Structure 1
Amino acid sequence: MSVPATGLAAEFEQIYRAHVQQVTAYFARRTADPQTVADLTADTFVQAITSFATFDPARGSPRGWLFAIARRVFAQYCERTSRGRNVVERLAGRRELDMDEAAELVVRIDAERAGRALFDGMAALAQSDREVIELVDIAGLDRKEAAAALGISLGALRIRLFRARGKLRKVVGEDNG
């Protein structure tokens, strides 16, 4: 019989349960590999739980905080991958997914296919423009959460979002024209 979590553990468990699907979707939009999605999601929550004692709700929402961590985890993953580590090193320490876990992540990845297609269309935008559109328009963070995740002021986020949406409309219009 398991003992219910209390204190910080219970608070983190609530945050985990409320946001694990959103974090998983964030990574599923970036990669079609179920194992990578699972690993990046797990890495995000490992970093979150190890730093949870320092989380300050006055500085932003748990969702914004988790997306800031997820962005860093993905950036670290991209950096490691771009260095060309060999396959043996990448597989070391990986827990292989069972058939049900892999199937569930394949369904999630398929569900995020439209999101990945949008990212392909956003490729013409600068990274800062892509990030602000993704956090607000795709991941659904409110502007305050997105500003906190990006480490910028709310005013700067509003300006960046306005400009990024305009650029995206222009790019999409050119593709359709």
Structure 2
Amino acid sequence: MDFAGIYEEFFRRIYAYINCRVGLQAAAEDLSSLVFQKALARFAQYDPARGSHAQWLFGIARNEVNYHLRKAAILKFIPLDLFGDIFPADAAAGPGPAETEARSAALAAALAELAPKERDLISLKFYSEMNNREIARLTGLGESNVGTILYRCMAKLRKRLTGVNI
């Protein structure tokens, strides 16, 4: 596959992952561009035996995001629609702006209480639309371990958000 094909296939997922982690659209756009600039510069060195294109690109993306977060200390945000089982929307009418803002704040606070590794796995799963096997390959964790950690993360979020009057 040529680089243009890789870009077309992965840009949306890389951008979504980065946007989830940094929470700022402009920063996500800049970091996504940087990831693909670095990937293009190193494209000739890419070795399929060491991992898939997804693993390679998400590895670059994780490194760039982690560097950015260390440098800027930015709190990330994950939209509520990814957590419908925690915040089910009213079937007749969705939540209003005030309720959405309150839910977002509660979710952001609950996510901030998770360990960085847990937040990273949540980002990879829900924003990058990766399955547990892909996450396991990328992070070096076992596939069942990824599933267990994600299950426990969701349980922690549910527990922290249960009874939130919003």
Give the C-alpha shift of residue 160 in structure 1: 3.9
What is the aligned partner in structure 2 of residue 113 from structure 1?
A: 79
1:132 to 121, 127, 140: 121
Give the C-alpha shift of residue 30 in structure 1: 3.3
Taking structure 2 as the reference length, the TM-score comes to 0.67
Runs of 4+ deviating beyond 4 Å: 115-120
SS in 2 for 1:30: helix
| Structure 2 Cα separation of the partners of residues 168 and 40 of structure 1 | 27
Number of residue pairs matched?
136
What is the aligned partner in structure 1 of residue 21 from structure 2?
A: 30
In the alignment, residue 60 of structure 1 is paired with which amino acid? G
1:51 to 42, 50, 72: 42
Residues 142, 53 of structure 1: alpha-carbon distance in 2 compared, 3 angstrom cutoff: farther
What is the aligned partner in structure 2 of residue 161 from structure 1?
A: 147
| Structure 1 Cα separation of the partners of residues 58 and 43 of structure 2 | 14
Normalized per residue, which structure has more helix? 1
In the alignment, residue 144 of structure 2 is paired with which amino acid? R
In the alignment, residue 146 of structure 1 is paired with which amino acid? I
Taking structure 1 as the reference length, the TM-score comes to 0.64
What is the aligned partner in structure 1 of residue 133 from structure 2?
A: 144
The 8 Å contact of residues 124 and 171 in structure 1, kept in 2 or not, is answered as no
SS in 2 for 1:29: helix
The 8 Å contact of residues 26 and 139 in structure 1, kept in 2 or not, is answered as yes
Give the C-alpha shift of residue 80 in structure 1: 2.5
Give the C-alpha shift of residue 176 in structure 1: 1.1
The 8 Å contact of residues 122 and 168 in structure 1, kept in 2 or not, is answered as no
| Structure 1 Cα separation of the partners of residues 152 and 59 of structure 2 | 24
Query: Are 1:41 and 2:41 counterparts?
Result: no
Gaps of 5+ in 1: 1-9, 83-111
Give the C-alpha shift of residue 162 in structure 1: 0.6
The 8 Å contact of residues 129 and 160 in structure 1, kept in 2 or not, is answered as no
Residues 172, 31 of structure 1: alpha-carbon distance in 2 compared, 3 angstrom cutoff: same
| Structure 1 Cα separation of the partners of residues 23 and 54 of structure 2 | 23
